Amino acid sequence: IATLQRTDENISLYSQMLDEFEMGMKSSRIDELFAQVQEALVPLISKVKSSTNPPDLSPLFPPKTNKTDEEEKNETEEESFPVESQKHLSKTLVTTLGYDTTHGRIDTAVHPFTTSFSPYDVRITSRFNTKEWFQGLMGTIHEGGHAMYEQSLGDSDTSLDTALSMGVHESQSLFWERHIGKGRPFWKFAGSVVRDVFRESGAEGF
């Protein structure tokens, strides 16, 4: 199909297919952007991984116990972070950020995603791990970013009221997940919500 759509043989097939998702973007420009990211990110990651003062990740997991490996393996889900509690937490926080559940819903799936039928029906899913609560929440906030973008579009049938591109779409989800959801101001509020939800569920360490 891309070959038939191509009007200039000098345009690579990848660029032709890319145009469906990011209009006007060429594969050569993508290569330039990723080269810049690689140049900055690789040494930064190496520096972080070799740090002698790594971040404390223990609040994300159940507290350490004196149980044997076999005993921990046989623990029930209720002894860690119950899925229903995580769903309640995710819904509470993502709706506080602006996702409108009167024009959408949140469900569980094997992989987080967003489906928009119109600005009045935008649905998201997330997945949850009973041994670690943070990724499920961040997945919900990420999909909430996609959904809030779709809910904010107009309801006409013109291209003005459609998502601009996949890149813009992803910028919205990553803005909410990385810049808001991982920011100190957000956690000054969200920290108490997390503690309240998991204390109510009986999770240890909260």
Residues catalogued as catalytic: 143
How far is Cα 119 from Cα 73, in angstroms, rounded to an integer?
44
User: 88: closest CA among 196, 205, 163, 176?
Assistant: 196
- Neighbour count for residue 150 (Cβ, 10 Å): 24
With helix as H, strand as E and coil as C, how does the chain read? CHHHHCCCCCCCHHHHHHCCCCCCCCHHHHHHHHHHHHHHHHHHHHHHHCCCCCCCCHHHCCCCCCCCHHHHHCCCHHHCCCHHHHHHHHHHHHHHHCCCHHHCCEEECCCCEEEEEECCEEEEEECCECCECHHHHHHHHHHHHHHHHHHCCCCCCCHHHCCCCHHHHHHHHHHHHHHHCCCHHHHHHHHHHHHHHHHHHCCCCC
